[in-house]
Amino acid sequence: MALNLIMLGPPGAGKGTQAERFAKGHGIPKISTGDILRGAVKAGTPLGLQAKAIMDRGELVSDAVMVGIVRERLDQPDAAPGFILDGFPRTVVQAAALDAIMVGRDPLIVVDIAVPEAELVRRLASRRICETCGLNAEGEMAESGICQRCGGKLKQRADDSEAIVRERLKVYHRNTEPLIDYYRGRQTFRSVDGAQAPERVAAALIAAVQEAVNQGSAA
């Protein structure tokens, strides 16, 4: 059974880090919508050229174009054993389109990394970025004020002030949380406690995915 995985979670939940780790551990691609959009534009595919024209006008890429680019990416051979989608779907409309793409394939496993808002604000407000090399720093490295990669000075990211963080979370709740309601009733939906240490979240994620695989196989 292919591991077709979507990871949901608010900003600061750590889903990007966990998705990268899981993908490497299971030999499947982590598919970021930003990366495949840039790839399609660079490759000059018809959809990529269409997306470039839209972005050059300063507009957002439409659901139809984004869905088409995702479909093309999921049809590539490296995604046959499975994939982790990062940043897609973002809306219920996109989720419904993804369901159509998945017809005839193994089921989607959907994992929501849940973290209380107070913890998200604390995490994001404590993040730092290196002025020299742009490395994102968290935890002890952020507290040190010095980049471990290049020795540069760390500063707070412009979008990580508490007021901006809370606004980003409001946007998430309004736009993305309906996805959780869309997927929650499925046998392959799982929620993981993301307020734990990263190692424990990783272990919980692996267990949740395996349980969902077993459930999907029995369905």
Is it the case that residue 98 has pLDDT exceeding 80?
yes
CATH of the domain at 19: 3.40.50.300
Residue 129 counted as domain residue: no
Q: How sure is the predictor about 90, in pLDDT bands with cuts at 50, 70 and 90?
A: confident
Q: How sure is the predictor about 48, in pLDDT bands with cuts at 50, 70 and 90?
A: confident
Residues 6+ positions from 107 with CB-CB distance below 8 Å: 4, 188, 216, 219
pLDDT given at position 152: 94
Quick: pLDDT tens for 147-192. 998 999 999 877 777 888 888 889 888 888 899 999 999 999 999 9
Residue 66 counted as domain residue: no
Residue 124 counted as domain residue: no
Residue 130 counted as domain residue: no
Residue 140 counted as domain residue: no
Is it the case that residue 219 has pLDDT exceeding 70?
no
What is the DSSP code (8-state) at residue 153?
B
CB 201 within 8 A of CB 193: yes
Residue 110 counted as domain residue: yes
Average pLDDT of the chain, as a whole number = 89
C-alpha count within 13 angstroms, C-beta hemisphere, residue 102: 19
CA distance 156 to 159: 8
pLDDT given at position 5: 97
Domain total in the chain:
1
Q: Which domain covers residue 103, as residue numbers? A: 3-28+81-115+169-218
Enumerate the active-site residues.
15, 90, 127, 157, 168
pLDDT given at position 34: 79
Residue 213 counted as domain residue: yes
pLDDT given at position 218: 67
Strands (E), 66-213: 82-86, 108-114, 128-130, 136-137, 154-156, 189-193
Q: How sure is the predictor about 39, in pLDDT bands with cuts at 50, 70 and 90?
A: confident
What is the DSSP code (8-state) at residue 14?
-
CA-based end-to-end distance of the chain: 13
Residue 203 counted as domain residue: yes
